[in-house]
Amino acid sequence: MVLDAQDQAMLRVLSRDGRAGHGELAAAAGCSPATARRRLGQLRAAGVLRFDVEVPPRALGHHAEAWLWMKVRPARLTAVGAALAAHPEADVVAAVTGPANLMAGVTCRDTRDLYRYLTERVAPLDGVRELETAPVSRTVKRAGAAVP
């Protein structure tokens, strides 16, 4: 799907406020609210646009976040990535380049839960050669808005 100037205008508005109404999107794109509504439906159907709700982990009782940087045997990269992606603790899993080839952002209830997760769920994965854990001490920005 090719994005035109109207699409890009609406996406800029949505990137600032995902709750923007059809009237605001139409004004930014220079079209009618009905056209904005129809085009948003097309963008969603094509997979160009999706709506996501961000809830701060602490609001759900999760107080331990960490970034995991792993060196995984290349032949096992896809399998380890898929296994991590299936873990409810994993918020994001991505193949990367540099000193590590797989990274994950994880959220656990507390540091004991994080320790159990690392030793009982991640360590046994076949192909993980090295694991570096970087606990998050403070989040400054999450999904488009600075965190107070």
pLDDT digits (tens, 9 = 90+) for 69-106: 999 999 999 999 999 999 999 999 999 999 999 999 99
On whether residue 147 sits in a domain, the answer given is: no
Q: 16: domain CATH number?
A: 1.10.10
On whether residue 90 sits in a domain, the answer given is: yes
On whether residue 137 sits in a domain, the answer given is: yes
Is pTM beyond 0.75? Reply is no
Residues of the chain with pLDDT under 70: 143-148
Handedness of CA 43, 46, 49, 52 (dihedral sign): positive
Domain count, the chain: 2
Range of the domain at 71: 57-142
DSSP string over 111-147: HHHHHHIIIIIITTSTTEEEEEEEE-S---EETTEE-
